[in-house]
Amino acid sequence: MNRITLFFIFCLIISCTKEYQKVDLEIQRFDRDLFEINKKNRKEKVSALKNKYGSFYDFFNSQIINRKNLSDQRYYQELIAFTSHNDMREAYDTVQVIFSDLSQIENELGIAFWNFSQFFPNLKIPKITAFFSGFNYGVITFDNYIAIGLENFLGANSKYYSFIGKPKYLSFQSQERFISANVLEAWLNECFQKNHSEKDLLSQLIYKGKVMYCIDKMLPQISLADKFRFNQNQMNWTQENEEAIWKYFIHNDLLFSKDEKRYRSYVNYAPFAKGMPKESPGRIGYYIGYKIVSSYMNNSEIDYDQLMLLKNSREFLKKSQYKPKK
């Protein structure tokens, strides 16, 4: 292989490697700080947790330890019982093996929140921490915090999920590659869901579509399937059957239905979409909403702030000129 050929290959590699702008983002490790507590150091470690994590420490106490009426002595006992419990300790040790390094997730979220800051310049970038919740919480938001319960992302086949009776379709969601999209959906909901209280399916589709449209733009380096948290076969089926899905919603008078039981599987996790083949994923409405919003944005000149505040779903659908892919 001559020098010219090598130079050509080098240039090709460089041209295919895209650098994304990102914010300097560090995920704090509450999980590690918590599990360092023992009987000898409990007072100083708890004091350090208070100073370092502030309102998140308060959340952990109220939601995980349930400290409400506990004396200090009893609180220390409950805390150490939690961190020294054999099952919890084993699961925590597994977390430390799988998530010994969070640099890839930090990189993904650094890119995402740089884009977020461009789309929504008046909104703050949250603090992010990793914690261990005893399998109670995946991703949660409050105040200016996002917290990731790492034990809920140990992989679809983790033994812990079968131990706790987690269905397979939910265990599938428990994969590291879905963390960034999960975090962004949670934070966008924290910022905007309060402005969208309409209960009919069309309004739900459009709101979920707005969220997914933003996630798609904020995570340009991640596959579409991972953004939707579908496997590739589910993604392919959804794209190939877009028109059939839309027709199903229309022919079954679902678009303007406010009966959540009728459309639950289209906007929530489910083994498959109700009334559709087993190949269809739950939350299939997210994709239809995403396509409606994409069509709207192709036919308008509004920014992301304006998009997220639009409410009239029927007018939105009309202006989108949405025509499902056949």
> Are 278 and 253 members of one domain?
yes
pLDDT for 10 equals 45
- Asked if residue 183 and residue 205 are part of one domain, the reply reads no
Instruction: Let me know whether 108 and 228 are in one domain.
Output: no
48 alpha-carbon distance from chain centroid: 29
What is the reported pLDDT for 5?
52
Return the pLDDT at 16: 47
Q: Does the residue 210 lie in any domain?
A: yes
Looking at 157, 189, 221, the residue that finishes a domain is 189
* pLDDT at residue 67 in the model: 77
Among 288, 280, 275, CA closest to 169: 280
Q: Which domain holds residue 154?
A: 28-189
Which domain-ending residue is among 161, 189, 217?
A: 189
Do 66 and 210 reside in the same domain of the chain?
Answer: no
Q: Based on the fold, state whether residues 264 and 290 are members of the same structural domain.
A: yes
Q: Is residue 5 part of a domain?
A: no
What integer pLDDT is reported at residue 14 of this predicted model?
A: 42
Q: Is residue 240 part of a domain?
A: yes
pLDDT in tens, the chain (326 residues): 555 555 455 444 444 446 889 999 999 999 999 999 998 899 999 999 999 998 888 888 888 877 777 788 888 888 898 889 999 999 999 999 999 999 999 999 999 999 999 999 999 999 999 999 899 999 999 888 999 999 999 999 999 999 999 999 999 999 999 999 999 999 999 999 998 989 999 999 999 999 999 999 999 999 999 999 999 999 999 999 999 999 999 999 999 999 999 999 999 999 999 999 999 999 999 999 999 999 999 999 999 999 999 999 999 999 999 999 77
Q: Which of 124, 159, 189 is the last residue of a domain?
A: 189
Burial class (CB in 10 A: 0-12, 13-18, 19+), 308: buried
Spatial separation of the C-alpha atoms in residues 203 and 207, rounded to whole Å: 6
Residues 175 and 210 in one domain: no
pLDDT score of 13: 45
